[in-house]
Amino acid sequence: VLVPDLPTPALLVDRARLDANLDAAQARADANGVALRPHAKTHRSPALARLQRDRGARGLTVATVAEAEAFAAAGFDDLVVAREVVTGNGLGRLADLAARGVRVAFCVDTIPGANAASALFKARGLTADVLVEVDTGHGRCGVRWDDRTAPAFVAHVAHLEGLRVRGLLTHGGHSYAGPTEGEAPAAALDRAMREERDRLLDLAVRLGAAGLLDPGEAALSIGSTPTFSRFENREREGFRITEVRPGNYVFHDAQQVALGAATLGQCALTCVAAVLSRHRDADGTERLFVDAGKKALSSETGWGVGGYGVVLYSARTRVPNPHAALVALSEEHGWIEVPGGAVFGVGDPVHLVPNHACVAVATQPRLFVVDGEEVVDEWEVVGQGAGAAGDAR
Ligand code: PLP
């Protein structure tokens, strides 16, 4: 099968670029003495996760209970849900996985959440590993790294039956905010990386001093693709980062390129769409409409990205089309403007690099693996939705 034979829109994974991204990330993790626990929400593909494992990845990170179930069903038995799980439904399903021998940990960051987890696992006669989520600057979930009450919270969790504190987890998601006024993009990545790493180490040292964390045993888990692109490990009073959880690095996307965390040449995922219609305005601007809209690309934008994805001139070289801009999306249409005239005709394929690869993947049932124009494999995307497949709960 060749790319022009595929249904459109379709997501293509360039196998050579993917392999290079996987190798580079594993090498960076190895050089820094950390376990790579890739975030599988990016690809939701057991086939791709096996490639990560074959290269040395230790366990997987997932975002949802449904993803944990899907990857456990595919034979992955060491999972971290990098988010709080607090409902009876979610905790019950994780307990079901644990009862089946899957090593599955999740996050806690509040007393009610931790108490709910403790009650459920205790009632089931199980012990769950939990990671205390720490906010190192992102401002989402997590106990702030400088919160004076953090040791009291960790002490509370440590005393709960049915739970065991494995360590601390943070996500340097503020790396996506881009540079501050006058800051260079590379300096912004370095700053976010240091904040994520050093703030987590700071809290670990404080907890260590309070006898609540053991440097020899505690997991210290960090990770985002932008911060990982600049990662160097550090030691503080016996504590080091033990684990990294980037996800997006397998594909990269227009957002990583804008931040300076990757080049367009490293972007392994493209969306191929077909030109449905072409019109010329009085001023000579050509407007193309392709069959990839919000439902294939999502309407995500982000720091430094113009429009809704990069229109490629050459899919093989990843050279962008300097004139074509993906300026708007409706559900099933992408609106491309080409001042001065287009090189694409009706029915032609257009290759786009999405702004956010993880969200694009989540819209699709499968990924097509390509070597140039040839489709060499087809990978199923699993773990969609909040419930397990076939699970009526
Ligand atoms: N860990 C957590 C908790 C996340 O939310 C994410 C992404 O959102 C990641 C790790 C991976 O980060 P990235 O998508 O930048 O690779």
Successive 10-residue mean pLDDT values, the chain, 393 residues = 97 98 98 98 98 98 98 98 98 98 98 98 98 98 98 98 98 97 97 98 98 97 98 98 98 98 98 97 93 96 96 96 96 95 89 98 97 97 72 35
- Residue with the smallest CA separation from ligand 1 atom 4 is 171
Atom of ligand 1 nearest to the CA of 133: 3
First vs last Cα of the chain: how many Å apart?
39
pTM comes to 0.96
Distance of CA 201 to the CA centre of its chain: 23
CA 206 to ligand 1 centroid distance, Å: 25
Could you tell me the two tokens for 141? Answer: 């979930």
CA distance 255 to 165: 34
CA 369 to ligand 1 centroid distance, Å: 23
State if residue 43 touches ligand 1 by the CB under 6 angstroms criterion.
no
State if residue 225 touches ligand 1 by the CB under 6 angstroms criterion.
yes
CA distance 384 to 45: 11
Give me the pLDDT at residue 284, please: 87
Give me the pLDDT at residue 136, please: 98
